[in-house]
Amino acid sequence: MFYKQGKDDNEYNVNNFEFIKKYSPTVGGLIEKEYNRQKNNVELIASENYCSEAVLAANGSCLCWKYAEGYPYVRTSGNTSRYYGGTEFIDQLEEYCCDTWRKVFNTDYHVNVQPHSGSQANFSGYKALIKPGDTILSLSLDNGGHLTHGSSVNFSGKLYNMVFYDVDENGFIDMEDVRRKAEEYRPQLIMTGASAYSRIIDFKAFSEIAKSVGAYFMVDMAHIAGLIAGGVHPSPFGYADVITSTTHKTLRGPRGGIIFARPELAKKVDSAVFPYAQGGPLEHIIAGKAVCAEEALDPSFKEYAKKVVDNCKVFCDEFIKMGYKIVTGGTDNHLFLLDLSDLPFSGRQLQERCDENGITLNKNCVPCEKRSPKETSGVRIGTAPMTTRGFEGEDFIEVAHRIDAIIKELIEENK
């Protein structure tokens, strides 16, 4: 593999495309091309990361052959609530996975590790708390929220009455606006969490507003879960009723979702995942989630999380030194947004030109966006994946100067 994350020398053959090529030259060949693209590129997409060989191996294990609809926990009957035989070891694994996640976040919340993705975790989280037609107050997509936080093209925008709070003109979540809108709209649920927000989110302040209007409070920590686990972002546990996450972003695990809930909401959350939203759980992914939780408990994960944030500050500061505008003027977490609204080209153009130069990042809206969502006036830049690959501050500084050179080229061309 092109980075080292395991304890010993690489024992797992991540180059398994050679094996696949014997059966399908097309599929194996495309995986090989993607492997080389990943290996040769500087990966700055804030939502991506590289999981360990152990997680990859769990994902490709025999658990992929097993059906286990239902849950492992012992219910009132004294039996587990699975709908299939042969689940003895799967039950132990899934319970171990849940217990280990409780240790990661030092919590007694109920855990459900079955959601196939972060979006499905949100689908089930809403279902557990409110009914269709109820009002959710959340951060809109163009201010840094996620598709599942109420976008009109997503289930959330179609099933629920969505109202939004905004960021202020500097790009910070405006807590006064949250309070005002909570009082005006009296939502059943207040939601926070983001895909493109570079500052600390004040979960305590949100929970107090939610309490004052009798709303449930849900946190989607998909992006920052690894930072919370590593102790470099405040935790929502104790404040939120339901917490959802992905496991593949800063947590560095397999692609998937996870839900935490206050113990009294356990049954509602479980039934909102299975049988409401999903059938059989992906037990091979759940095994990967268990390995990921163990890795997050290792002291080295704290160091990793701290490095991600330190590297991000160094990277962001270098752009500021070169005179660039950054949304909110800086960063507290693993990402920042470069604001191109004063420049003669769009986020899409910079994304494409970076792609041609072996740097992968993505276009993103900025506050008070004037270009269309397909063009945008910003790019989102994250440090989690390259920190996994061993980049230090000086490496990010070098990349900042490479992006600066690309921007100068684009300015010249668009004069």
Ligand X SMILES: *Cc1c(COP(=O)(O)O)cnc(C)c1O
Residues making contact with ligand X (CB under 6 A): 47, 117-119, 122, 146, 148, 193-195, 220, 222-223, 246, 257
Residue closer to ligand X (CB basis): 150 or 367: 150
On the CB side of 101, CA atoms within 13 Å amount to: 32
Is 9 known to be catalytic? no
| Residue burial 360-371, b: 16+ Cβ < 10 Å; e: rest | bbbbbbbbebeb
Is 220 known to be catalytic? yes
Q: How far is the CB of 218 from ligand X (least distance, A)?
A: 11
Residue closer to ligand X (CB basis): 220 or 317: 220
Is 3 known to be catalytic? no
Is 247 known to be catalytic? no
Q: How far is the CB of 154 from ligand X (least distance, A)?
A: 11
Residue closer to ligand X (CB basis): 58 or 225: 225
Closest residue (Cβ) to ligand X? 118
Residue closer to ligand X (CB basis): 47 or 100: 47
Is 88 known to be catalytic? no
CA distance 252 to 50: 6
Catalytic residue, candidates 12, 35, 67, 73: 67
Cβ-contact 178, 209 below 8 angstroms:
yes
Q: How far is the CB of 269 from ligand X (least distance, A)?
A: 16
Q: Are strands 110-112 and 70-74 parallel, antiparallel or unpaired?
A: unpaired
Residue closer to ligand X (CB basis): 111 or 219: 219
Is 67 known to be catalytic? yes
Q: How far is the CB of 36 from ligand X (least distance, A)?
A: 24
Please name which of 237, 206, 218, 222 lies closest in space to residue 160, comparing C-alpha atoms.
218
Q: How far is the CB of 194 from ligand X (least distance, A)?
A: 6
What does 34-64 look like in DSSP terms, one character per residue? HHHHHHHSEE--TT-----HHHHHHHTSGGG
Catalytic residue, candidates 107, 148, 244, 246: 246
Based on its alpha-carbon atoms, the radius of gyration of the chain, rounded to whole angstroms, reads 22
Helix or strand (DSSP H, E) at 192: strand 189-192
Backbone angles phi, psi at 245, to 5 degrees: -160, 165
Catalytic residue, candidates 4, 21, 179, 255: 255
Active site residues: 67, 69, 220, 246, 249, 255
